Amino acid sequence: MRPLPGGRAGGLVAVLVALVAGMSAASPWFLTADNLLGLARHLAEVGIIACGMTLVIATGGIDLSVGSVFGLAGIAFGYTWQAAGLGPAIAVGLVAGMGAGAVNGLLITRWRLPPLIVTLATMALFRGAAMVVSRAQPVSGLPAGFAWLGQGEWLGLPVQLWLWAAAVAAAAAVTERTSLGRYARALGDSERAAVFAGVAADRVKVALYAGTGLLCATAALVFSARVSTARADAGTGLELEVITAVVLGGTPITGGRAHPLGSLAGVLILGVVRNGFTLAGISTVWQSMLAGLILIAAAMLNQRLAASRLPRRPDA
Amino acid sequence: MICKRALLIAGAMLAAACGRGEEPATMRLGVMPKLVGIDYFNACERGAREAAAELGVELVYDGPLTNDVTRQAEMIDTWIARRFDAIAVAPNDPHALSPTLKRAMERGIAVLTWDADSDADSRHYFVNQATYEDIGYALVDIMAQQIGGSGEVATVTGSLTAANQNIWMEWMDRRLEAAYPQMRLVTVRPSEEDQQLAFQVAQDLLKAYPGLAGIFAITSVALPGAAEALRQSGAAGRVALTGLATPNSMRQYVKDGTVETVLLWNPVDLGYLTVRAAARLAEGGPLPEQLEAGRLGPVQVRGQEVLLGEPLRFTRANIDEFDF
């Protein structure tokens, strides 16, 4: 694995370690297995989606619709379960997510529309579709066996933690070891140069947006299992969390580089902050402000680290 | 270099910001509203803190910034990790919090719901402000009186998944069917505990149903929002409006005639009772049929439900007597 440039990896790990130390000093319950595993369960959904978002942002694009795809896939799953049982429901949910992502990709590539505009629109479109299908009624009473996905454990750790780890490993592998990852970064660096060099820009983008949609659907299944309910309004505001984590993790918002491990650190940092503050008794009204300040500080840190790096050499 | 500095600054900031260390041995209660930052739940907080001070227990009153059930689940998990003695929550969804609340019950934490209920097996008791029947019937009766028992009416509710609002609407439907067959409910629209949205929804209703005789706005932010919409579009007086909200937020509209009667209960008392019930429950055992609730006196406990009392009606005559 190619080492992350400059002190970025060190910086993020240092921030995370400092936060963990600070939070455990503030509350004796922070470093308990109970708390940390609970935290992992909550963060897994954001973490899984962040893996796809990292690569999307690396291409110079963005996906604001992930929260809505999350809701739509969940509802598609819930209603199919009511009609046809668990197996078909899972399949339909995953396909719905992937399909929604593909719609994003096609609108962006076929009609050359800016990703920001497209996903802003699909954010409303997909959420609306979820509301229409469900008439805003959630589906509850999901079977106990399914709940294992969000509430159960495998080899002592929460199931979704394994899924999250798999998603991160896959994202890291795609970024570093596949042509898809290379092309994605090339597109973000300079789309014209990449196209002239023969990169099939359209196919890469559609693949990445569809892949992100698939990850959203996976996260939606985990969520539905966690709360034993499928809701159309699930995931509202999720896109902001995911994008914040990816940016925090060092993937430049303009694209050109992808740091899935950085995104992982970003998700953990945001989660640790929120969890630690709640444990320490800091009210939610303060948490919002503090989260904003932390993001600014982290962005400044990233900027300093980027400026201090040696000039980039072309990929080996 | 930069890494080391970052580490030092981050560490120092956090050590300074988070002062709390050891937790004392007094009883610790967590009370969570549907969301923080609205009048109604701020009033509940007042009552909750009053009871906590009287009992000498430690109270954490906190909730998400929007009516988001996912954030509620997250915070409750954190409270479980903090080993609270009792947790009382007003859930934004009757089923989605059940897994989390059941986990709290398994850990030996006393679990109550208040204001809105969750699945019956996910909490020990539900602190209800008034019976659903009383609230639903009273709302319809107030409206019927104002519009002469006939005409088109519409309802602006909060979230379509809020258990309490849905059950109130069920009782409203029953009352309409049984007593006022000439009154027709044409639509129900959500406003997600957002006053601005309620304003818009009410305006849209006035345009979509020009013959509308009355509007029910059954959340504490929907009613002021709808009242403002009526006032601004000049429909006040022509279209009757009633619902559930705090007297402080409705005083100007009651005084200028936009709204004749506002229905509610005392949210300060609700918060007070919730803390009293939670503390009593955390001490152990089921609650007695007559729960001694401090300044509220004996309060009825029916099965798994702790009942605050009957709804209150606020009109021009009495609205100045209340400050919440």
Where exactly are the structural domains of chain B?
25-129+267-308, 132-264
Residues in chain A with CB shorter than 8 Å from the CB of B79 are: 278
Q: What is the DSSP string of A172-217?
A: HHHHHHSHHHHHHHHHHH-HHHHHHTT--HHHHHHHHHHHHHHHHH
For position A281, what pLDDT does the model report?
A: 82
Contact A301 B2 (CB under 8 A): yes
**Residue A1 domain-assigned?**
no
**Which ipTM value was assigned to this complex?**
0.78
Contact A279 B82 (CB under 8 A): yes
Neighbours of A175 (CB within 10 A): 25
**Best of B7, B9, B18 to mutate (most A CBs within 10 Å, chain A):** B18
**Residue A315 domain-assigned?**
no
For position A3, what pLDDT does the model report?
A: 44
**Residue A182 domain-assigned?**
yes
For position B254, what pLDDT does the model report?
A: 94
E-only strand ranges, chain B: 28-32, 58-61, 86-89, 110-114, 125-128, 151-157, 183-190, 212-217, 240-244, 262-264, 290-292, 298-302, 305-307, 312-314
Residues in chain B with CB shorter than 8 Å from the CB of A141 are: 95
Distance from CA of A302 to the nearest CA of B (A): 10
Contact B99 A21 (CB under 8 A): no
For position B9, what pLDDT does the model report?
A: 54
Bridge partners of B217, per DSSP, are B156, B243
Residues in chain A with CB shorter than 8 Å from the CB of B14 are: 18-19, 21-23, 25-26
**CA–CA separation, B87 and B107 (whole Å):** 12
Q: What percent of chain A has pLDDT over 70?
A: 93
Containing structural domain, residue A299 = 8-306
Is residue A77 scored above 70 in pLDDT? Answer: yes
Is residue A313 scored above 90 in pLDDT? Answer: no
Give chain A's domain count: 1
Q: Do domains B25-129+267-308 and B132-264 have the same CATH topology?
A: yes
Give residues 155 to 194 of B whose Cβ lies within 8 Å of A. Answer: 160-161, 190
Block residue for tokens 């409750």: B76
Distances (CA, A) of A288 to A23, A70, A285, A293, B65: 17, 23, 6, 9, 9
CATH number for A223: 1.10.3470
Q: Is B247 on the interface with A (CB under 8 A)?
A: no
Whether the Cβ atoms of residue A68 and residue A127 lie closer than 8 Å to each other: yes
Q: Is A296 on the interface with B (CB under 8 A)?
A: no
Q: Which residue of A has its CA nearest to B12?
A: A22
Give residues 42 to 61 of B whose Cβ lies within 8 Å of A. Answer: 60
Q: Which residue of A has its CA nearest to B107?
A: A34
Tokens representing residue B24 in the block: 């004392």
For position A156, what pLDDT does the model report?
A: 87
Q: Is B14 on the interface with A (CB under 8 A)?
A: yes
**CA–CA separation, A225 and A151 (whole Å):** 7
Question: Over its length of 324 residues, how does chain B's per-residue pLDDT go in tens digits?
Answer: 455 555 555 555 544 444 444 445 789 999 999 999 888 999 999 999 999 999 999 999 999 988 888 899 999 999 998 889 999 999 998 899 999 999 999 999 999 999 999 999 999 999 999 999 999 999 999 999 999 999 999 999 998 878 889 999 999 999 999 999 999 999 999 998 899 999 999 999 999 999 999 999 999 999 999 999 999 999 888 999 999 999 999 999 999 999 999 999 999 999 999 999 999 999 987 999 999 999 999 999 999 999 998 899 999 999 998 888
Whether the Cβ atoms of residue B172 and residue B238 lie closer than 8 Å to each other: no
Q: Predicted confidence band at A18 (pLDDT cuts at 50, 70, 90)?
A: confident
Whether the Cβ atoms of residue B125 and residue B287 lie closer than 8 Å to each other: yes
Question: Mean pLDDT lowest for which of A101-105, A138-142, A311-315, B43-47?
Answer: A311-315
Distance from CA of A61 to the nearest CA of B (A): 28
Q: What percent of chain A has pLDDT over 90?
A: 60
Residues in chain B with CB shorter than 8 Å from the CB of A285 are: 36-37, 65
Whether the Cβ atoms of residue A310 and residue A16 lie closer than 8 Å to each other: no
* Fold type of domain B25-129+267-308: Rossmann fold (3.40.50)
Mean pLDDT of chain A: 89
Q: Is A307 on the interface with B (CB under 8 A)?
A: no
Q: Pick from B62, B77, B83: which is nearest to A284 by CB?
A: B62
Residues in chain B with CB shorter than 8 Å from the CB of A17 are: 7
**Residue A3 domain-assigned?**
no
Average pLDDT over residues A90-115: 96
Residues in chain B with CB shorter than 8 Å from the CB of A21 are: 11, 14
Tokens representing residue B168 in the block: 């109130």
B132-264: CATH number:
3.40.50.2300
**CA–CA separation, A150 and B128 (whole Å):** 31
How many CA atoms, within 13 angstroms, populate the side-chain half-sphere of residue A254?
3
| Segment (H or E) for B289 | none
**Residue A2 domain-assigned?**
no
